[in-house]
Amino acid sequence: MYQRLPEPGGMPIPFTLDGRRLEGRAGDTVAAALLAAGVETCRTSAVGGAPRAPYCMMGVCFECLVTIDGVGNRQGCLVPLQAGMAVETQLGHGKRELAR
């Protein structure tokens, strides 16, 4: 689990994950907002289908890949959270991309 420290935090930022309403704070990246909301597994691995979660939070490991506003494979730890963002987990074998 993840806890926000009781410091005066930034403004609440509403967004959705797979259609579900969640809330982050101003200054969060997408990956940080997901973790703070208790969401760890953001995708399954391309080869073995194993669950994966953000690992480095600094843009090198590519474990935090999510779909943001329809664009797949974004590095969640590098994208600042914005109000109204539609974030999707990447579970399964890319059916969404095939359906296009």
Decide: is 60 part of the binding site for other proteins (CB under 8 A).
yes
CB of 59 to other proteins, least distance (A): 6
Q: Which of 58, 70, 95, 99 binds other proteins (CB under 8 A)?
A: 58
Query: For residue 10, what is the DSSP state?
Result: -
Classified as helix, coil or strand, 22 is strand
Interface with other proteins (CB under 8 A): 1-5, 7-10, 25, 27-29, 32-33, 35-36, 40-41, 45-48, 50-63, 65, 71, 73, 77-78, 80
